[in-house]
Amino acid sequence: MLMRFEELPGNVRALILAKLATEMKSANADTIYHLAKMQRSDVHDLWRTICRKAAQPICTIPIGAL
């Protein structure tokens, strides 16, 4: 079972969100949905990729991102 994003320590959440922001900026994507579409992926697969790239535990997507 995946950990809930909201239950992760603050520094881990910040690292994951910073990685997402970096990926979005480099792809010139406005939203997580836009980034997923650009990468021909769905949002959940994209989120798992972001967690891995940030070298953090794979967790659920933040409630506010959906």
**Which residue from 41, 12, 10, 36 is spatially nearest to 23, judged by alpha carbons?**
36
Q: Determine the 3-state secondary structure of 31 from DSSP.
A: coil
Q: So where are the chain's domains?
A: 5-65
Instruction: Flag whether pLDDT at 65 surpasses 80.
Output: no
pLDDT digits (tens, 9 = 90+) for 25-52: 999 999 999 999 999 999 999 999 999 9
Q: Determine the 3-state secondary structure of 14 from DSSP.
A: helix
Query: Which pTM does this prediction carry?
Result: 0.90
Determine contact, residues 24/32, Cβ cutoff 8 Å.
yes
Per-residue confidence (pLDDT) for residue 39, from 0 to 100: 95
